[in-house]
Amino acid sequence: MESSLKETILVVDDDPDILTALTNRLRWLGYHTITAQDGVQALLLIQQTNPDLVLLDLELPRLSGLDVIRRLQSPLEDHATRGSGNTLPPIIMLSAYATVGRAVEAVKLGAQEFLTKPFDQDHLDLIIKKSLEQRALAREIGFLRTEVGSRYEIIVGESAVMRQVIETAKRAAPADLAMLLLGETGTGKELLARSIHRWSPRKKGPFMAINCAALPESLLENELFGHEKGAFSGATAMQVGKLEAAHRGTVFLDEIGDMPMTLQTRLLRILQDKEFHRLGGTTAIRPDVRFIAATNHDLRARVAQGLFREDLFYRLNVMPLCVPPLRDRGEDIGLLAEMILAREAGNMKIAKKPLSQEAQQCLALYKWPGNIRELENVLSRALLLSSRAEIGPEDLGIRTPAGRPASPPPATQELPYHVSLEAYSRWLLEEALRRSNGNRTQAAELLQLQRTYFIKLLRKKQIAGTPSSR
């Protein structure tokens, strides 16, 4: 009987009997195991799954154990293997043909231990335990370093509607429930999903994002579930899917509304049974993952149209959360703009440029049909192309109605004249404040009013400004 899953250990040996014996022993001890029978496959699995420890045979087909370590230490492989906040896994080298020279070389290359076959199993158990403890410490240090520089990977907002979303997400993050993020394209659903992951107990585990609309059905199925060697033409080696690689982490299924119906059925079974099989495989894989899905579709409507499984919808809709469009969170535009400019300036390795007052007004007036994604594109382009010390409205490349209200307040025309006029004037004042992020001076300028008169109108209509209003 398989015990609960703990750390993941990759066992690499071309001898099937040794592979089976080691795997059975490790599973009995409570570890999650994956296996490989040649060096190339081992290297691929280390890159894909980032295991907690590797038991590596010296003599392997296609790529020796020593060559695997050399490849892991190369700059090109290093980035793919370590990822954000990760360290190389400890490697315990095993060999029936050990020499002092080979042992010394293996340790110099980065192997933590070198054991000669046959070895004492209890001794190996102790080495594994010690190595995993050291690994946990190294990952903790790496995680803390990542945390320091991760301010741009956490969703932010000062508007009331966004504060409510963030508060709800923080409360739901530790519960390990399936979540469904709803909202228009470009509103930051993936960033919110990453934030939920970082707020959860799974924050030290992997975050695997999968776009369900970006790949054809066959490729998406392979991306999710992986495959066994020989599962189909061209499957020359076993490949781990993202669901398996996300063990002890979070799986983010973006554009879930576009997932093909056949894959919806397989996903439903995973949510129900907590297990799946690789393509062409018979062994049950039981990853410990949390699911977060996102869509810009009305899933209830797609259920009614027969395009989405109703039972899957209710499985995913345990904790729905709607991410508002940028046009409904005008108070956040200034904050988002500052963060985007700082991030992009760092990425481009150029000095950050401030926004002029006129540019800030343009950003506040624009409706942002592409939401935050469009804001990022506009500011990245402006930062790169602006030839002055600050970014002006001409650098933004967007057209806005110069200080004019976007639309009249709802149902105004159905009211008596004096009531309509009062409602409309109040809306103008509130709209100007919203577009200026609560800045009374800027709001007065938008309406072409003197600041003192503007403040007098606010008081008369009992409209409160923001704490930062000037």
pLDDT tens sequence across 117-131: 888 888 888 888 888
Query: Any idea which residue has 């008369």 for tokens?
Result: 460
Secondary structure string (H, E, C) spanning the chain: CCCCCCCEEEEECCCHHHHHHHHHHHHHCCCEEEEECCHHHHHHHHHHHCCCEEEEECCCCCCCHHHHHHHHHCHHHHHHHHCCCCCCCCEEEEECCCCHHHHHHHHHHCCCEEEECCCCHHHHHHHHHHHHHHHHHHHHHHHHHHHHCCHHHCCCCCCHHHHHHHHHHHHHHHHCCCEEEECCCCCCHHHHHHHHHHHCCCCCCCEEEEECCCCCHHHHHHHHHEECCCCCCCCCCCEECHHHHCCCEEEEEECHHHCCHHHHHHHHHHHHHCCECCECCCCCECCCEEEEEEECCCHHHHHHCCCCCHHHHHHHCCEEEECCCHHHCHHHHHHHHHHHHHHHHHHHCCCCCCECHHHHHHHHHCCCCCHHHHHHHHHHHHHHHCCCCCECHHHHCCCCCCCCCCCCCCCHHHCCHHHHHHHHHHHHHHHHHHHCCCCHHHHHHHCCCCHHHHHHHHHHCCCCCCCCCC
Q: Are 86 and 50 in contact (CB under 8 A)?
A: yes
Q: Which of 393, 52, 372, 441 is nearest to 189 (CA)?
A: 372
pLDDT score for 414: 46
Task: Pick the range with the lowest mean pLDDT from 18-22, 70-74, 120-124, 397-401.
Answer: 397-401
pLDDT top residue among 254 and 422: 254
Q: Are 230 and 41 in contact (CB under 8 A)?
A: no
**Is the pLDDT confidence value at 408 over 50?**
no
Mean pLDDT of the chain: 83
Mean pLDDT along residues 319-345: 92
Which string of b and e fits 193-202 if b means at least 16 CB within 10 Å? bbbbbbbbeb
**Is the pLDDT confidence value at 188 over 90?**
yes
Domains in the chain (CATH in brackets) are: 8-148 (3.40.50.2300), 166-323 (3.40.50.300), 325-400 (1.10.8.60), 404-470 (no CATH)
Q: How far apart are CA 57 and CA 91, in angstroms?
A: 10
Q: How far apart are CA 386 and CA 117, in angstroms?
A: 66
Q: Are 14 and 38 in contact (CB under 8 A)?
A: yes
Beta strands across the sheet bearing 91-95: 32-36, 8-12, 53-57, 91-95, 113-116
pLDDT score for 182: 97
**Is the pLDDT confidence value at 447 over 50?**
yes
% of the chain beyond a pLDDT of 90: 36
pLDDT score for 141: 55
Q: How far is CA 289 from the centre of its chain?
A: 14
Per-residue model confidence as pLDDT tens digits over 134-164: 777 766 655 544 444 444 467 888 899 999 9
* 144: Cβ contacts below 8 Å, ≥ 6 apart: none
Q: Which of 279, 417, 435, 257 is nearest to 357 (CA)?
A: 435
pLDDT score for 138: 67
pLDDT top residue among 452 and 237: 452
Q: Are 443 and 405 in contact (CB under 8 A)?
A: no
pLDDT band at 79 (very low <50, low <70, confident <90, very high): very low
pLDDT top residue among 48 and 17: 17
**Is the pLDDT confidence value at 55 over 80?**
yes
Q: How far apart are CA 344 and CA 10, in angstroms?
A: 38
pTM: 0.62
pLDDT score for 102: 76
pLDDT score for 198: 92
Range among 104-108, 133-137, 145-149, 466-470 rated most confident? 104-108
Q: Which of 114, 111, 107 is nearest to 89 (CA)?
A: 111
What type of residue is 253? L
The first and second tokens of residue 359, run together, are 């540019």
pLDDT score for 139: 63
pLDDT score for 376: 93
What type of residue is 281? G
pLDDT score for 194: 93
**Is the pLDDT confidence value at 85 over 70?**
no
pLDDT score for 445: 84
Per-residue model confidence as pLDDT tens digits over 226-256: 888 888 887 777 788 899 888 889 999 999 9
Per-residue model confidence as pLDDT tens digits over 287-305: 899 999 999 999 999 999 9
Mean pLDDT along residues 48-53: 82
What type of residue is 298? D
Q: How far apart are CA 67 and CA 404, in angstroms?
A: 67
Mean pLDDT along residues 448-452: 82
What type of residue is 169? A
